[in-house]
């Protein structure tokens, strides 16, 4: 059970839609801290598509909101406050954006960082993140 957090008298929620072409396959409203998952086990929101290298948890609940793992994304838009936004343009507004990517799958992260003016670093593993951030933001 996810706990909702009231901000300004309103609960923070995130609506996630899984869309294939023009067909909406599923819609889920996530409470703060709740994740959206793919898989073939009980408790997942949708079966994992065959033949696509993608994250089994594309939207992960986090203490401050949600984290997005866009592995496997071929296209799309970022919708913020009901408006379609260009993710690169949004990233350009962040003064100290750092993109961290796994060393063995960093090609798209480097391209995004170059397009948005961000710095990019490759992680050897999860435990290397703190040192990399110290070096980049130091």
Which residues face 59 on adjacent strands?
A: 36, 68
Please tell me whether residues 132 and 88 are part of one structural domain. Answer: yes
Q: Give the pLDDT of residue 3.
A: 37
Q: Give the pLDDT of residue 107.
A: 85
Contact status, residue 65 vs residue 36, Cβ threshold 8 Å: no
Mean pLDDT of the chain: 78
Please tell me whether residues 67 and 108 are part of one structural domain. Answer: no
pLDDT digits 0-9 by tens, 30-71: 888 889 888 888 888 888 777 777 788 888 888 777 888 777
124-131: long-range contacts, CB 8 A cutoff, minimum separation 24: 129/100
CA distance 12 to 4: 7
Handedness of CA 108, 110, 116, 120 (dihedral sign): positive
Q: Give the pLDDT of residue 6.
A: 45
Which residues face 31 on adjacent strands?
A: 13
Query: How many structural domains compose the chain?
Result: 2
Please tell me whether residues 39 and 102 are part of one structural domain. Answer: no
- 112: helix, strand or coil: helix
Please tell me whether residues 11 and 72 are part of one structural domain. Answer: yes
Q: Give the pLDDT of residue 72.
A: 64
Please tell me whether residues 9 and 35 are part of one structural domain. Answer: yes
Please tell me whether residues 50 and 110 are part of one structural domain. Answer: no
Among 26, 56, 76, which residue terminates a domain? 76
Q: Which domain holds residue 29?
A: 1-76
CA distance 131 to 125: 11
Q: Give the pLDDT of residue 124.
A: 86
Which two structure tokens, joined as six digits, stand for 8?
Answer: 């300004």
Please tell me whether residues 67 and 81 are part of one structural domain. Answer: no
Please tell me whether residues 66 and 120 are part of one structural domain. Answer: no
pTM of the model: 0.53
- Per-residue pLDDT at 5 exceeds 60: no
Please tell me whether residues 72 and 82 are part of one structural domain. Answer: no
Among 76, 93, 115, which residue terminates a domain? 76
């Amino acid at each position: 059970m996810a706990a909702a957090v009231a901000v300004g008298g309103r609960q923070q929620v995130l609506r996630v839609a899984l869309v294939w072409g023009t067909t909406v396959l599923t819609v889920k409203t996530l409470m703060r801290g709740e994740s959206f998952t793919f898989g073939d086990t009980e408790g997942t929101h949708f079966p994992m598509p065959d033949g696509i290298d993608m994250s089994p948890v594309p939207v992960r609940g986090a203490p401050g909101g949600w984290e997005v793992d866009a592995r496997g994304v071929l296209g799309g838009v970022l919708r913020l406050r009901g408006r379609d936004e260009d993710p690169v343009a949004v990233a350009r507004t962040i003064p100290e954006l750092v993109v961290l990517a796994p060393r063995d799958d960093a090609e798209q992260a480097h391209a995004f960082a170059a397009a948005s003016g961000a710095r990019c670093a490759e992680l050897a593993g999860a435990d290397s993140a703190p040192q990399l951030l110290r070096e980049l933001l130091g």
